[in-house]
Amino acid sequence: MNIQLEEVSFAVPGRPILEGITTSIAGDTFTCLLGPNGSGKTTLLRLLTGQLKATRGRIVIAGVDASTLSQREMARGFAILPQGVQDPPHLTVHELVALGRFHPGKGWGWRLDDADRAAVAAAILQCGVGHLADRTFAVLSGGEKQRAWLAFCLAQEKGFLLLDESLASLDYVAKRAFFQFLTTLAAKGRGVLLATHDLELASQFAAKLLVLEGGAVLYDGPRRPDLPALLTAGRGMGPGD
């Protein structure tokens, strides 16, 4: 599933948020969306999932003009881990991942069927959290929680993962391991779009970087080792922004 943005803009009364964003995001690629706070990263993710509608321009998802789709139809292609998601301290890892198989159409009497159980087991295995399956979130480390949440997303069996600032609570070692893992997922055909402030790790691991500043594209292209130095020197985009 590929995504194409064509001159996409979004504004609220009296204030533009995004202006003229044109880019493509491949469905088998690890892409990092970067930029300081207020640059439009979260707004762009909300446009992709139908939570917001573009003021101008066109978004094409898997060859279909997104303006013809409902929010529910757009969301079918994306597993989303939003910024600031609250951990469920009393749920086990297995229980959380199993919830990834629920959708409202199944009703409150929903139970896991064979296909659901297979998807849950595959997601837990892929994320390496099998030994944590019966542990509650209250006893997990930050890195373990992130892997559990990612398993929750993978269990949904959607083509694209959208992760909004999902690594902020992790230390450097855990972040690096998570970037490596997202690279592996993309290599297996999963589209991954991560909004992050970590330009250094993004420049090491992501296949594509999309850098926003002031609602416009500052850089759109493959990773390059010298990009952090160029951006911090030229634009003042530091790790604390």
Structural domains in the chain, sorted by start: 1-77+159-241 (3.40.50.300), 85-157 (no CATH)
Distance CA 207, CA 44 (A): 19
3-class DSSP string for 73-89? HHHCCEEEECCCCCCCC
Which residue is it, tokens 């999932």? 49
Non-local CB neighbours of 174 within 8 Å, separated by 6+ positions: 141, 142, 143, 146, 167
User: Quick check: pTM over 0.75?
Assistant: yes
DSSP conformation letters of 6-67: EEEEEEETTEEEEEEEEEEE-TTSEEEEE--TTSSHHHHHHHHTTSS--SEEEEEETTEEGG
pLDDT score for 205: 94
pLDDT score for 238: 37
pLDDT score for 229: 75
pLDDT score for 241: 33
Distance CA 176, CA 38 (A): 25
pLDDT score for 91: 95
Per-residue confidence of the chain (241 residues) as pLDDT tens digits? 889 999 999 999 889 999 999 999 998 899 999 988 889 999 999 999 888 999 999 999 988 999 888 878 887 889 988 877 888 989 999 999 999 998 766 666 678 889 999 999 999 998 889 999 999 999 998 888 888 999 999 999 998 999 987 666 677 888 888 899 899 989 988 899 999 988 889 999 999 999 999 999 999 999 887 777 777 655 544 333 3
pLDDT score for 117: 94
pLDDT score for 165: 74
pLDDT score for 135: 96
pLDDT score for 232: 65
